[in-house]
Amino acid sequence: MGNLRVTKKGIRLEGVSEFLLPLYVKEIHSRKDSPLVLQSDRNVTVNARNHMGQLTGQLTVGADAVEAQCKRFEVRANEGGKLLFSADEDEIIIGADRLKVTGTEGAVFGHSVETPHIRAEPSQDLKLESPTRSLIMEAPRGVQVSAAAGDLKATCRKELHLQSTEGEIFLNADTIRLGNLPMGSFSSSSPSSSAPRQTIYEVCVCPSGKLYLSPAGAGSTCQSSSNICLWS
């Protein structure tokens, strides 16, 4: 019947065909050397129903979007059937070896992110930024930040807090520098201007924990220059 042929394997239809009413088939195949094209002036919708006729899955290809409605959506690799992407109501799983975001604005997460490892591309910097709010990194067994071949810097506009509730804060380096420490003020008369230039100082601590410098002497001079603690 023209381009329609009835064969042992079913019905074979050649050329361009139009169906005005629903078409019920078990399988649709194209020729081995030709792609299968489904075309519509509005959209193409593929529905899956159970034995009771209830809709269990739907794939809609429209002019503005491609929508899939189902309990679970999966994308697998051709070889081996490895799971590359999976999405359901509870979680989204990305099973690829690497997730690469090439947009200039990076990746934006509205809520928390859980990951065992964050690293940048080779020879590239890694930057974690929250432009208008806070950036929090938490781990029950510790957070480790290391720079194997460079510097590690922490800067802020206001206060920088280092707090250990049960342990200690350990600084281990050949040289430890505390820059811009304030100079303590003497409660008695100041040293004479003819005295030699002071090059050695004593590091003192106020009851509040504030550090300040006091000119080193034969004994401790922290007590005589402790008026600075009244300002803290």
Q: What tens digit of pLDDT does each residue of 119-132 get?
A: 777 888 888 887 78
Choose one of 94, 123, 144: the last residue of a domain. 94
Find the domain containing 224 and state its range: 200-231
110 in any annotated domain: no
Percent share of the chain, pLDDT over 70: 94
Contact 67, 80 (CB under 8 A): no
Other beta carbons within 10 angstroms of residue 225's beta carbon come to: 20
Higher per-residue confidence, 232 vs 131:
131
Give mean pLDDT, residues 191-198.
58
144 in any annotated domain: no
83 in any annotated domain: yes
Q: Is residue 190 scored above 60 in pLDDT?
A: no
Question: pLDDT tens digit string along 45-88?
Answer: 888 888 898 999 999 998 889 999 999 999 999 888 899 999 99
Give mean pLDDT, residues 203-218.
89
In this prediction, residue 13 carries a pLDDT of 79
168 in any annotated domain: no
81 in any annotated domain: yes
How many domains does one find in the chain? 2
What residues are paired with 74 via a beta bridge?
Answer: 86
Best-predicted range by mean pLDDT (5-19, 57-71, 96-110, 181-195): 57-71
Other beta carbons within 10 angstroms of residue 100's beta carbon come to: 6
In this prediction, residue 204 carries a pLDDT of 92
Average pLDDT, the chain: 83
Q: Is residue 188 scored above 60 in pLDDT?
A: no
Q: Is 204 buried (19+), middle (13-18) or exposed (0-12) by CB count in 10 A? A: buried
Give mean pLDDT, residues 178-189.
72
Contact 55, 48 (CB under 8 A): yes
Question: pLDDT tens digit string along 111-170?
Answer: 887 888 887 778 888 888 877 888 888 888 888 888 888 888 888 888 888 888 888 888
Choose one of 72, 94, 116: the last residue of a domain. 94
Q: How far apart are CA 131 and CA 128, in angstroms?
A: 10
171 in any annotated domain: no
In this prediction, residue 2 carries a pLDDT of 62
75 in any annotated domain: yes
Contact 56, 66 (CB under 8 A): no
Choose one of 94, 124, 159: the last residue of a domain. 94
Q: Is residue 31 scored above 90 in pLDDT?
A: no
64 in any annotated domain: yes
pLDDT confidence tier of residue 205, bands split at 50, 70 and 90: very high
